[in-house]
Structure 1
Amino acid sequence: MKTAFKIVVLLVTFVFISCKGNAQETKKSTFPESIGIINDYSEILTELQRNELTKTLYNYNIKTTRQIKVVTVDSISPYTKIQKYATDLGNHWGVGTAEKNNGLTIVVCTPCREMAIATGTGTELVLTNEICSTVLEKTILPEFKKGDFYSGIKKGITELIEIWE
C-alpha cells in the first residue's frame, strides 16, 4: 500500500513538473525569433526596403555600437499594451549592448493599428519617452496614415538617429 502511494505521488509530481516546463516554453514562445535588424513578420515592406533599412541600421550600429531593431507583427498577444510588448521584446532579444543598455526597438502591429518605441536605460538618457512619442506622432504616423509604412519607418529612424547623435 505504501509503495502504491509513493508511485502515485511520484507520478503526480512528474506530471506537475512536465506541465510547469510546458508553461515556461509557452511563455518563451510569446516572442518571435529575431531574424536580423529588420524583422518584418507582417510583410509590410518590400525586400528592397528591408535591405535598405538593414544597411542603414547596420552601418549605424558599426559606427556607434547603438542598436536599433524594427519589428512588424500581426499580434502582440498575450499582451494588451504594445509599449510593454516592445520593451519586453527588446529585453528578450537583448537589443543593444549589455554594458551600455543602448538599444532601441520599434514595434509596429498593423492589425492592432498600434506602434511603440522601446529604449534601453542607456538610450533613454537621450531619447526620452517624450522625444520618442513626438517622433511617432509627428513623423512616423502621418506617413502610416498615407499607407506608406516604409517612408514612416525610414523618416522616424533618420530623425531618431539625428537626435541620438
Structure 2
Amino acid sequence: MTLALLIAGAALAGCGVPAERIADAPARASAKPFPLPALTGRVVDNADLLVAEQEAQLSVALATTERLTRHQFVVVTLPSLGGRSIEEVGLTLGKGWGIGRKGYNDGVLLIVAPNERKVRIEVGCGLEGALTDSEAQAIIDQRILPGFRKGRMAAGIFRGSAAIIREIDEPGVTP
C-alpha cells in the first residue's frame, strides 16, 4: 500500500487540556461513538499491516521496554477512525485502555490509520520530558513516514517504535 501523502500528528494529549477542546466537535456530533477495540496485547494490528512474525518481534521489544523502564508502549493500527479525528481516537484509546501506570500517566501509543493516511504518537503527561511534541513529530517525519511513502508500512512502524523506545529509555526517565 503506497501512501503518497500521510497526515501526521504528535501530541502530549490529555496533559491539562480538556478532551472537548482537542476533539473535533463537528465530527463528534455526526459520528457514532468510537468503538474501543480490544486491547489484545502490546501490538493491536487491526489494519493487518504486520505479519505474525513482525507482530511477535515488536511485542517482545515493547514488553522488554516495559520491563526495563515500567513505561507502557502500545502500537495500534486501525482500519478506520470511524469519522473521528486521530487525536480524539488516541485519547479514547489511551484512557479506555488505561495505557501507562496509574498516577504516573507514562504511557505511549503509536497509532496508524492507513485508510485515512494518518499516524500519531500519543504521549502521557508522565513522559513529556522524555518524548516532547517536537521529538514525536521528528520521529513521525524522519522515521515513520519515509517507509510509509515507499509502501513499507512495517518498516515505518518498526523504525518509529525503535526511536520512541530510545527516547523513553533514557536514564532518569523512570519515576
- Structure 2 length-normalised TM: 0.75
Structure number with higher helix proportion = 1
Local SS of the residue matching 2:76: strand
Q: Which deviations, in whole Å up to 9, do the C-alpha atoms of 1:22-56 show, x marking residues without a partner?
A: xxxx74x6211111100000111000000000000
Unmatched runs of 5 consecutive residues or more in structure 1:
1-25
Residue 22 of structure 1 is matched in structure 2 by none
Q: Which has the higher contact order (CA 8 A, sep 6+)?
A: 2
Are residue 107 (structure 1) and residue 111 (structure 2) matched?
A: yes
- One-letter amino acid of the structure 2 residue matched with residue 113 of structure 1: R
Distance 1:141 1:31 in 2: 26
Within-5 A mapping of 1:45-56:
45-56=50-61
- Structure 1 length-normalised TM: 0.79
Local SS of the residue matching 1:63: helix
Runs of 4+ in 1 over 3 A off after TM superposition: none
Q: Which deviations, in whole Å up to 9, do the C-alpha atoms of 1:86-143 show, x marking residues without a partner?
A: 1221111011101211100111111101111101110122211111111001110001
Within-5 A mapping of 1:84-163:
84-163=88-167
Asked if the contact 1:87–1:105 (Cα under 8 Å) also holds between the matched residues in 2, the reply is no
Distance 2:134 2:89 in 1: 18
Whichever of the two has the greater Rg, that structure is 1
> How many pairs are equivalent?
138
Percent identical? 29
Greater Cα shift, 128-137 or 82-91: 82-91
Q: Which deviations, in whole Å up to 9, do the C-alpha atoms of 1:52-100 show, x marking residues without a partner?
A: 0000000110111111101111111141x21221122111101110121
Distance 2:157 2:73 in 1: 12
Asked if the contact 1:127–1:160 (Cα under 8 Å) also holds between the matched residues in 2, the reply is yes
